[in-house]
Amino acid sequence: MNNKEENKDYFNHYPEYEEDIIVINVPSGKVPERIDTYLSTLIKNASRTRVRKSLDEGMIKVNEVVVKKASHKISGNDVIECIMLRRPPIKLIPQDIPLDIVYEDNFLLVVNKPAGMVVHPGVGNRYDTLVNAMLFYLGIEDEIEIEFEKEDTDDDLINDQGKIYASDEVRPGIVHRLDKDTSGLLVIAKTTEVLSQLQSQFANRTVSRTYIAITWGTRLDDEGSIIGNIDRSPIDRKKFAVSQKSGKYAKTNFRVIERYSIASIVELKLETGRTHQIRVHLTHKNHPIIGDEVYGGNINNYKGVKGELNNLAKFIISRSKRQLLHAKDLQFIHPKTNQLMQFSSELPEDMQNVINILNSSSILQK
């Protein structure tokens, strides 16, 4: 992709901010309050960070005088004029994107998502998602606009994407999701009723999901469970980590399928469904998924090893353009027929290639 195409793609995903002009007449008798706190509470979808940006840029006036300090106290009968910046709403546009449909009936579909495809629109991914593809496939022609509530911090971005993911306006019904660079099976509801019933199965943990990961390291037990609350990392808010003091309970069951000199093939079953759960739990066990740049799997974990193993690690990294994680098996009860539905997906080519490299270049560990 050339620079011109890259710039076009960037601006499509991150369009220019739009201005909202808001005039507020503060009620008489109002107790003095910081302007950033007052506006972030009063104005819909305005965080304190966004208010402070507007203050810094001279976009807020009190009684016709520009105010730049967040600590400025407003009082009764003040007139506040604000220019608030926001990204335009996301438009869910049907797009003709090929889909690997494993199963379909009048109520639901099961698709095999490729690595690199985002499940639903969000900040930085306004189109080319699974939702865009499904809208086209199902013949839904109406464009749907979704407004982001906030865009100022990493927490806000994650929260808003979650709301889009769960929104009743988003059809088809995305029941669960996979990370962009995780491949594999997803079930999608065609009706609101089926969506609700499938969501209940996920909430009640009656859905079985089995993943295959290729990890660095060979010292995992043959099988077991990784239990550890998952919360946002205190060091990098874009990442998650196992926490002893906070977060949500998470449990991942695992079984080692094969061990090589520097890597393992691991089968994993989720008992909970936290964000990045498998990736975080395996990293916590010092077995990051190969290719996972967020959690350290894209670096040479064998820097202290010289010779053949070091060269092998470097070669594998060069062939791993994403985290080597695949949602292989999916099992649930059909909401309408009550039949047990079971689906399995072959490992994608990039994962199989790395396994072939390990098989041909590495000594199996017993």
| Of 53, 54, 62, the residue nearest 26 (C-alpha) | 62
| Of 120, 210, 181, 125, the residue nearest 350 (C-alpha) | 181
**What Å distances lie between residue 249 and 227, 229, 273, 279, CA to CA?**
8, 4, 10, 15
Tokens linked to 334: 């059909």
| Of 186, 22, 161, 33, the residue nearest 104 (C-alpha) | 186
Residue of 78, 128, 179, 329 marked active site:
179
**What Å distances lie between residue 217 and 182, 221, 266, 301, CA to CA?**
20, 11, 11, 8
Q: Using CA atoms, how far apart are residues 297 and 303, in angstroms rounded to an integer? A: 13
Q: Mapping DSSP to helix (H, G, I), strand (E, B) and coil, where does residue 289 land?
A: strand
Q: Is 1 exposed, middle or buried (0-12, 13-18, 19+ CB in 10 A)?
A: exposed
Q: Using CA atoms, how far apart are residues 40 and 47, in angstroms rounded to an integer? A: 5
Contact 258, 218 (CB under 8 A): no
Question: Is 179 known to be catalytic?
Answer: yes
Q: Using CA atoms, how far apart are residues 54 and 342, in angstroms rounded to an integer? A: 53
Q: Using CA atoms, how far apart are residues 190 and 171, in angstroms rounded to an integer? A: 8
Q: Is 319 exposed, middle or buried (0-12, 13-18, 19+ CB in 10 A)?
A: middle
List active site positions.
179
